[in-house]
Amino acid sequence: MVRCLTPVLLLGVVAGFPAAARQPDDTTRILVEPAKTRQTFDGLGAGAIFYEGHITSLAARNKDERQEQLFDDMFTRVNTRFLQLMIRETHEPTNDNADPYTPAFDDKDFEYCKHTVRIAQAALKRRPGTQLYATLYTPPPWMKPNNAATAGGEARVSLTPGLELELAEYVWAFQAHMTKQGVPVQYLSIANEPDWPHTQPGYCLTPDRHALLFKTVGEYLEKMAKKYPDVPRPKLVGPNTLSAVGAAKDYVPRTLAAAGKYLDVVAAHDYDPRGDRWGARRKLGGTRPVWLTEWCARKKDATPGMTDSAVEYGLALHDAFAGGVNVFMAYDWVYPPRDSGEGLIHVNWGNDYVLTKPYHLLRQWSEPLTPGMKMATPAWTGRSAAALRVTPFVSADGGSVVVHVVNAPDTDAPVSLQLTGRWAPTAARTRTSVREDVAALPPLTAAAGRFADVLPAKSLTTYRVEAAGK
């Protein structure tokens, strides 16, 4: 994919632009070739991680109407397909028994799940096709050498050897409980960032240890699906590392070698943005879908509504889909009020909530997209080209094109957009910027086959064009 072209190339024929169209002005010319498509778009998602109680806290204060409005803002107005849930370390405070194939869990130990269940129910009510994806952050403390939830930092606390089946039983018990509550989980990760020596709830796994544990869990879930057919077996997502680069280098090859039968989705977070990390994973995984299972803006942000964090989201979304992912998941729907961009919505526990600029950007990005769309091939050239990111999607039937364009700097950028093939002469527009939140703008009319526009500083503009005669 060509993001920008060097000035010397502008003197020749570049990316399909006629020589007469390349006069030296400030306009960045964007060319999209809808007939040249790549991977399939499978959807967007976000997590209910750490602050599930904040999400349901309005109802806890008898603010039921506001609670429903929050759920509408989360699941009705944002076109997400996946909801990531957190498996906490508390539903087996001590070993239930000596036989991992005969679970004997106590319902009272799943009390923390009441928030998780309520959130999942709200999502499914508003979007019946929502796919639930659960991630184990840490096994119970008694399964770990430090007898604590933390991953131990540089100590890299792992699972106590010999307790692999107990861990498998633990994640199965979460699935059994969720199924009993009417919200079964479709996808499961056995660890969260097992490659990172952090002090949050978690546990560390080397590539080899992860591969063997993944195999053990896969085999266990397969056996339990036969023994307890009413509890559906979730598809396994891995390795779910912090680094997509490290995953491609070590974790994915080892997991494929030891447990390829059970690896349904190749996935990682995107906090190590080096090289062709997603292309490498796609080659390794073959036909398996590639998911980005976590990303968020983490810098301190004092801009209005966290505009800078929203722009970071736009760049991250572009990099992911340009790189070859099928699914992008924002880290967390809700955080308490703070000065950084981890949460899409800020909930002041039990009082009220605020929608951030990252929320509005993700809403705009998601709005026109449907699973089954294909990534198209863009090119762009001009004075502002290096500052823009262009991400086009083509509908499954080829009858429409959606083009997201992020202008990251604090200066406006004039652009012209051209699509190869036969398309209607009008383009619908939506924009999120410093002053706008998913604002519907007057449509553009093409002149000489091009749509001319000016992109405001720090903005996402979305264009939608239909096939001619449609």
> Do 224 and 249 fall into the same domain?
yes
pLDDT at 21 over 60: no
pLDDT score of 13 = 28
Residue 2 domain-assigned (yes or no): no
As beta bridge partners, residue 331 has none
pLDDT at 159 over 80: yes
Q: Are 290 and 326 in contact (CB under 8 A)?
A: yes
Residue 226 domain-assigned (yes or no): yes
Q: Which of 113-117, 158-162, 279-283, 459-463 has the lowest mean pLDDT?
A: 279-283
pLDDT tens by residue, 181-235? 999 999 999 999 999 999 999 999 999 999 999 999 999 999 999 999 999 999 9
Q: Are 392 and 427 in contact (CB under 8 A)?
A: no
> Do 151 and 242 fall into the same domain?
yes
Residue 289 domain-assigned (yes or no): yes
> Do 23 and 133 fall into the same domain?
no
> Do 184 and 291 fall into the same domain?
yes
CATH number of the domain residue 390 falls in:
2.60.40.1180
pLDDT at 10 over 90: no
Residue 122 domain-assigned (yes or no): yes
The sheet carrying 28-40 orders its strands as 439-445, 426-432, 459-466, 400-407, 388-394, 374-381, 28-40, 413-419, 451-455
Domain boundary at 366, 382, 410, which?
A: 366
> Do 81 and 171 fall into the same domain?
yes
> Do 211 and 288 fall into the same domain?
yes
- Residues in CB range of 452: below 8 A, 6 or more apart: 27, 414, 415, 416, 444
The string of DSSP codes covering 370-422 is -TT-EEEEEEEESTTGGGEEEEEEE-TTSSEEEEEEEE-SSS-EEEEEEESS-
> Do 173 and 321 fall into the same domain?
yes
Residue 404 domain-assigned (yes or no): yes
pLDDT above 70 coverage of the chain, percent: 95
Q: How far is CA 254 from CA 23, 84, 192, 208, 430, in A?
A: 53, 25, 17, 6, 44
Region 420-448 average pLDDT: 97
The string of DSSP codes covering 110-171 is GTTHHHHHHHHHHHHHH-TTPEEEEEE----GGGSTT-SSB--GGG---PPTT-HHHHHHHH
Average pLDDT, the chain: 94
CATH number of the domain residue 141 falls in:
3.20.20.80
Residue 195 domain-assigned (yes or no): yes
Residue 383 domain-assigned (yes or no): yes
> Do 347 and 419 fall into the same domain?
no
Q: ∠45-236-270 over CA atoms, to 5°?
A: 45
The alpha carbon of residue 106 and the mean position of all alpha carbons in its chain are separated, in whole angstroms, by 33
Region 96-118 average pLDDT: 97
Place of tokens 């202008």: 407
383: pLDDT confidence band, cut at 50, 70 and 90? confident
12: pLDDT confidence band, cut at 50, 70 and 90? very low
H or E element: which one contains 39? strand 28-40
Name the phi and psi angles at 290, rounded to 5: -115, 125
pLDDT score of 11 = 22
Domain that holds residue 273: 43-366
Residue 1 domain-assigned (yes or no): no
Region 20-43 average pLDDT: 85
103: pLDDT confidence band, cut at 50, 70 and 90? very high
Please count the residues of the chain: 470
Axis-axis angle for helices 357-366, 307-323 (nearest 10)? 30
Axis-axis angle for helices 252-259, 207-227 (nearest 10)? 40
Listed in sequence order, the DSSP H helices in 232-285 are: 244-246, 252-259, 277-285
Amino acid (1-letter code) at residue 469: G
pLDDT score of 271 = 97
Q: What's the structural domain count of the chain?
A: 2
pLDDT tens by residue, 272-288? 999 999 999 999 999 99
> Do 143 and 289 fall into the same domain?
yes
> Do 261 and 135 fall into the same domain?
yes
* Alpha carbon distance 118, 126 (integer Å): 13
pLDDT score of 384 = 84
pLDDT tens by residue, 290-340? 999 999 999 999 999 999 999 999 999 999 999 999 999 999 999 999 999
Region 115-138 average pLDDT: 98
Domain boundary at 328, 350, 366, which?
A: 366
pLDDT score of 16 = 38
* Counts for the chain of helices (H) and strands (E), in that order: 11, 20
Q: Are 356 and 309 in contact (CB under 8 A)?
A: yes
Domain boundary at 322, 341, 366, which?
A: 366
> Do 133 and 210 fall into the same domain?
yes
Axis-axis angle for helices 307-323, 277-285 (nearest 10)? 40
> Do 36 and 102 fall into the same domain?
no
As beta bridge partners, residue 189 has 135
Quote the pTM value.
0.93
- Residues in CB range of 365: below 8 A, 6 or more apart: 44, 314, 317, 404, 460, 462
- Residues in CB range of 170: below 8 A, 6 or more apart: 87, 91, 92, 136, 139, 140, 143
